[in-house]
Amino acid sequence: MISAGALISAPLSACSSGGRDKVAKPPLSSTDENGDVIGGNNWANRQSDVESDAAKTFRDYDMGLFVGSSDLLNAYYAFDDPKNYYSDWPTVGLLFPQKSDYDTAASSYEMLADTLSALDPSELNEAQNRAVKDMCFDFKYMSEMYKHYLYIPQLNPMGGKQVVYPLLASLIPFETKEDVDRYFTIISDFKDFFTKAFEAEQIRSNGGVGYNDENIDRIIQDCIKMKKDHDTNFMKTTFDERVKKLGLSDRETEELIAKNQELLDLYYFPAMEMLIQKLPELKGKCNEAPYLAETPSGKAYYEALFARKTGTEMSVEECRDLLQERIDAIYEEYMPQWKTKGSYFAFGDLEFDQASEWCKRFTEDHFPAISKHDVEVYPVPRQLYDSIQPARYYPSPIDNYTKHTVWINNALLDDPQYDMFTLVSHEMYPGHLYQHQYQAENLQSKYQVFAMSEPYAEGWAQYSETVMIQYAPFDRKQAKLSVMASIFYSTYIAARLSIGVEYEGWDYEDCKTYIMHYGQDESVIDEYWKRLTAEQGYALEYAFGYLFTSDILDQAIADLDGICTPEEVYKAYLDLGCAPFSVLKEDMAAFVESKKN
């Protein structure tokens, strides 16, 4: 799972757990009639005597989208140092978006799409035109989503801000005392931020579009865990460890530790307690299942969300039918083998360090080279074991693409659905981490790298699992059956259920009937239901990302059999960068024809 929840700047950088809706409004005029920079923003590598006017405009917008961050927490995960990217540290710790911010964002994204789509394609090169298509696709659907802000959740029972924001704050590196001061500013904003988050959820619940009672209880349980063990809470222990490494005097260190405890007692713990006390007021106001398409606004919002989570402008109905065809084909091919083996998931595995070394070495031998890089691997604190996915990759800062962060939730690794080998190949090599750094080193467009769409990223990461499993250092046949079972049940079936619940109005019994048809015991419906009602568009980015990515790459590999190696096809795909899948399909078809000729 890739996460860019704290990446990329305003207007709505504190809005959701996705990454592409965090794009700041660019400078409206950054060059004069001679192509010279106005206002001190000296973009790197500009060649004003060579580039066309359209190319200069594209470059200004492509880079200008990342100038600045809305708040300090986002700034720490967007930049090593904002000054490296023509901006400064924000003064706000945590910024909560208001309705006016959504309205401004909707109009800004519409303006961005109009401006970029009006550029003369003949004045742009192939890569720039592809990036423009990527941006215009995003901005069109971002604008539509933000017109219906009431449907956008502010808390989430599956790793929402009530969990992720404390965790992100606890990982901020302290290199100077100024870092500690900025951290204190973030902690001081926790109570105000989550008070506003509750008020926003109250409005959603009063409008009938909030969470059901079970999911409200799950958020409450998150908050209970986040404030548990006052004297040994991870927000205290991680601070103590970081500040002691600064090399300050004993007195200064003790003073900072005391101040952190004071701020936690004033702002952090009360924020969690407030949510625990107030959230029960929202119970009984919303339907058990989130049928978003029941109102015109809900349907418009869902269709925009669906486009962003699938990377295509195909209709919901077209995608549903395509997905159902794929489900039936896989079930017919693999179910007899799954039944024979007796277990969908069991196969050999490696320890994390072994898996990392093996996958990294294999990637170095079979994929294009990337520069040396650093990876910080953090174990998820025990308070968060039940609230965080098995693993999550956080992209590098915009000003340092060789710095990567991975979270590992050790508590889930005994689950037979999860194993270290596929987790590492998905999150790291040659999945998210490798793809991110390779494209940061090789693509012209920063937007394609640092605002990468979820379906594109997850499609590549899941495809990486299927590539690596062919060379796994254990029973490869059984491993392939396991990976395909995971894709089938955890992504394809889950995505079909998601469409059913949110777009077609399926209830619990409808979902149970559907999954039992595909060989699942009715006992698993509760786990599906919990996820389907908690996360909008659940599993769509995984299912359609993998579906479209595998179709494009497998077709190209088959067409070029005997002409190009699969590794050459992978490189060609990576060199295209992020774009809607219809664009990538056309461009890869052109690559195939060029090689054939």
Same domain, yes or no: 171 and 278: yes
Per-residue model confidence as pLDDT tens digits over 132-150: 999 999 999 999 999 999 9
Q: What number of other Cβ atoms are within 10 A of residue 520's Cβ?
A: 16
Average pLDDT in the chain = 88
Residue 155 main-chain phi, psi, to 5 deg: -120, 165
Mean pLDDT value of segment 305-328: 98
Confidence check: pLDDT of 368 > 60: yes
Contacts of 126 (CB under 8 A, 6+ apart): none
Exposed e or buried b for every residue in 128-163, given b needs 16+ CB within 10 A?
bbbbbbbbbbbbbbbbbbbbbbbbbbbbbbbbbbbb
The band of 519, judged by pLDDT with boundaries at 50, 70 and 90, is confident
Q: What is the reported pLDDT for 246?
A: 96
The band of 382, judged by pLDDT with boundaries at 50, 70 and 90, is confident
406: β partners: 377, 393
Residue 403 main-chain phi, psi, to 5 deg: -115, 120
Show which of 393, 423, 453 is a domain's final residue. Answer: 453
Same domain, yes or no: 129 and 108: yes
Same domain, yes or no: 183 and 199: yes
Q: What is the reported pLDDT for 348?
A: 63
Confidence check: pLDDT of 45 > 70: no
Per-residue model confidence as pLDDT tens digits over 6-25: 223 333 333 333 333 333 33
What is the span of the domain harbouring residue 396?
349-453
Confidence check: pLDDT of 330 > 90: yes
Q: What is the reported pLDDT for 282?
A: 97
Per-residue model confidence as pLDDT tens digits over 106-123: 999 999 999 999 999 999
Confidence check: pLDDT of 153 > 50: yes
Interstrand relation of 403-408 and 391-394 (parallel, antiparallel or unpaired): antiparallel
Mean pLDDT value of segment 506-516: 95
Query: Of all helices (H) and strands (E), which one includes residue 392?
Result: strand 391-394
Same domain, yes or no: 115 and 67: yes
Higher pLDDT, 15 or 69: 69
Same domain, yes or no: 492 and 534: yes
In a domain, 465, yes or no: no
In a domain, 534, yes or no: yes
Q: What is the reported pLDDT for 431?
A: 97
Same domain, yes or no: 435 and 577: no
Confidence check: pLDDT of 418 > 90: no
Same domain, yes or no: 367 and 432: yes
Same domain, yes or no: 131 and 70: yes
At which residue do the structure tokens 């601070």 appear? 239
Number of domains in the chain: 4
In a domain, 459, yes or no: no
In a domain, 461, yes or no: no
In a domain, 470, yes or no: no
Q: What is the reported pLDDT for 48?
A: 52
- Of the candidates 490, 494, 487, the residue with the CA atom closest to the CA atom of residue 463: 487
Show which of 282, 317, 333 is a domain's final residue. Answer: 282
Contacts of 70 (CB under 8 A, 6+ apart): 9, 10, 11, 12, 13, 14, 24, 90, 92, 95
Instruction: Please give the C-alpha separations between residue 69 and each of 86, 88, 196, 379, in angstroms, as whole numbers.
Output: 11, 9, 20, 27
Rounded Cα distance, 119 and 495, in Å:
36
Same domain, yes or no: 133 and 5: yes
Same domain, yes or no: 227 and 188: yes
Q: What is the reported pLDDT for 381?
A: 79
Per-residue model confidence as pLDDT tens digits over 268-299: 999 999 999 999 999 999 989 999 999 889 99
Same domain, yes or no: 181 and 274: yes
Question: Which segment of 14-28, 48-62, 533-547 scores lowest on mean pLDDT?
Answer: 14-28
Same domain, yes or no: 100 and 44: yes
